[in-house]
């Protein structure tokens, strides 16, 4: 099965993705992680990615899609499917994902939307900035990331709602309760 984990920056996608992947034996495909890994290389592409991330914008579809395809190819025979974390982030990526799924004879089971309000997002990211040291976890970049989310990524909720795939989960409270909420939706979708 293949699942999309959707939500604004700081919604807790990474945290929940790990738990869900362990529970259902899925490959964790985080475009943020893949891009950060690429950006840590001192190549011109790496530097370009780093600048874009620090500016709170989306990295080009071309670069993102290349990394996705590579990851899928390397992992398609492992585990039982993919959990997409931070992808797709715009319409073009969503369409590409549909094609990719089709090409490997798979489909998206559901899109889990983690709902968290903006005050909590800001608080979490500012807390995280003191522990993880991500260069995009500062108030200035965060406000740009939130803007990018609402203008380019959030419209995908409509794209997936029209396919009846969206399942909303409250993203605040205990990590284990949120995880339970996600699992219930996955199991309901599996049994539908
Ligand atoms: P969090 O990890 O807290 O949920 P986030 O969703 O903003 O926050 P990542 O998913 O790690 O964090 O993404 C960090 C940055 O990487 C984004 O702001 C963007 O610049 C880039 N990025 C990640 N995924 C994509 C994507 N699918 N397309 C283009 N750029 C991406
Ligand atoms: Mg993340």
Q: Once rounded to an integer, what is the mean pLDDT over residues 28-34?
A: 98
Which three-class secondary structure state does DSSP give residue 149? Answer: helix
Q: Once rounded to an integer, what is the mean pLDDT over residues 17-26?
A: 98
CA dist., res. 126 & res. 136, Å (int): 10
- Ligand 1 probe mutation, 10, 17, 35, 121, most atoms within 8 A of CB: 35
For residue 79, what pLDDT is reported? 85
For residue 158, what pLDDT is reported? 98
Residue 108's DSSP bridge partners are: 2
Q: Domain of 83?
A: 2-190
- With a cut of 90, say whether residue 184 has pLDDT above it: yes
Å from CA of 85 to ligand 2 middle = 7
For residue 9, what pLDDT is reported? 97
The DSSP call for residue 58 is P
Residue 77: which pLDDT band, with cuts at 50, 70 and 90? confident
Query: For residue 60, what is the domain's CATH number?
Result: 3.40.50.300
Total structural domains within the chain? 1
């Amino acid at each position: 099965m293949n699942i999309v984990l959707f939500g604004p920056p700081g919604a807790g996608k990474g945290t929940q993705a790990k738990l869900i992947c362990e529970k259902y034996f899925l490959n964790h495909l985080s475009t943020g992680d893949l891009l950060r890994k690429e950006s840590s290389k001192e190549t011109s592409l790496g530097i370009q990615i780093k600048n874009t991330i620090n500016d709170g914008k989306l990295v080009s579809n071309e670069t993102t899609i290349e990394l996705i395809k590579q990851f899928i190819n390397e992992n398609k025979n492992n585990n039982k499917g993919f959990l997409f974390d931070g992808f797709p982030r715009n319409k073009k990526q969503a369409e590409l994902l549909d094609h990719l799924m089709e090409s490997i004879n798979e489909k998206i089971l559901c899109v889990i939307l983690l709902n968290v309000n903006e005050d909590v997002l800001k608080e979490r990211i500012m807390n995280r900035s003191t522990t993880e040291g991500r260069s995009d976890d500062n108030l200035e970049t965060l406000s740009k990331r939130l803007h990018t989310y609402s203008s380019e990524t959030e419209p995908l909720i409509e794209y997936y709602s029209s396919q009846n795939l969206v399942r909303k989960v409250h993203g605040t409270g205990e990590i284990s309760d949120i995880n339970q909420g996600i699992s219930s939706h996955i199991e309901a979708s599996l049994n539908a």
